[in-house]
Amino acid sequence: MYDVLIAGGGLAGLVNAIQLARAGLQVVLVEKKQYPFHKVCGEYISNEVLPFLHSMGIYPQNLDASTITHLQVSSPSGKRALLAELDLGGFGLSRYVLDEFMYRKAKEKGATFLLGKSVEQVSFRDDYFEVELADGQVLKSKLVIGAFGKRSRLDKQLNRPFINERSPYIGIKYHIQTTFPPHLIALHNFKDGYCGVCAIENNTYNLCYLTTRANLKQYGTIENMESQTLYKNPYMQQIKQNAVFLYDKPEVINEISFAPKQAVENHILMSGDAAGLITPLCGNGMAMAIHSAKILSEQIILYFTGHQNRNQLEYAYARQWQQVFARRLWAGRQIQHLFGSEWLSSMAVMLLQSFTPATRFLMKQTHGKVF
């Protein structure tokens, strides 16, 4: 019988593992892959997370993270481009490096890891959970954290509303070496999509974009689609001309849903993207995952120290999650409507160029305070 079982070993799951193991709880984390591994992610993190990361002994600059101070946004034609200073700034660091480091940190604190295994089913009974793995192994725990990311077979098992509605979005990521200002995070728009570019570690850059299944279907292959849409933006064409692509093939994820989710489902406590996913153009997904795991860990520790029962834990976490994140998720969905369409993207960039305070306002709507 574990105190806490964590299903999924991304950013949120790893933060939960570190925090809870550090508090003396018996924690087991189940992850289907082996560290280190790549994930579809923009790999930019707002500096709002730094005090909390430092409290865990995680210093991004020691991992060769880039320092990012400015944002660039271009229209699909490239004729309009906005350049703005970021209020807090941030840093770029690959999930390959950061997740591996946090995995080792969690192991140091005493967390148990079951890697190369996946959770098949979660059942709640008699005030504890039985968790069946794909290999038939059954684990028991007092609490279960769902940190399985944007979508999972567990979402289907729980019959979560968003999983039954098809989403049009796909995400594609590369790591490249190219000529590009390392202090800049760029958001370049193209037909039915937008692409983020930023420096990460080791003079390498993340190139990650969101588009639609329909866009891919129209052109048949990722390569053809990129040629006919992504690289029609002259800023992206320039990046490509100077780029060395470091993957044999890109990382891809299908049916990314930005629909609202519940923070607690059938007593499972959702953490990170499993609780709610902000649109990538907001550049705040990684910070949100870290922050949500912090909030959840604090509530779980109150539960195990006798300050609240299960019902109080679930209510307190769901309520605090809504208070901290619901508004920025809503704002992200509204802002996304301004991009994707070639005409709307151009108009949005023009308006933001003309009215600088609007850019700062939108940043504040989609980012949180330092924690």
SS3 category, 218: helix
Q: pLDDT tens for residues 34-50?
A: 999 999 999 999 999 99
Would you state the pLDDT for residue 189? 95
**pTM of the complete model:** 0.95
pLDDT tens string 324-367: 999 999 999 998 887 777 888 888 888 888 887 888 888 889 99
- The answer to whether residue 259 sits within a structural domain is yes
The owner of tokens 């079982």 is 5
44: in domain = yes
Tell me if 198 is assigned to some domain: yes
Give a yes or no: residue 148 inside a domain: yes
Both tokens of 220, joined, read 């048949």
Alpha helices in 195-341 (DSSP H): 213-219, 222-228, 234-241, 285-304, 310-321, 327-336
- Structural domain contains residue 137: yes
CA-CA distance, 85 to 184, in Å (whole number)?
9
Tell me the CB-side half-sphere exposure of residue 30, using CA atoms within 13 A. Answer: 25
Looking at residue 32, which CATH number applies to its domain? Answer: 3.50.50.60
**Domain count of the chain?**
1
Q: For residues 147 and 158, what is the distance between their CA atoms, to the nearest angstrom?
A: 14
Residue 56 has pLDDT above 90, yes or no: yes
Q: Is residue 371, in this structure, part of any structural domain at all?
A: no
Domain that includes residue 231, residue range: 2-366
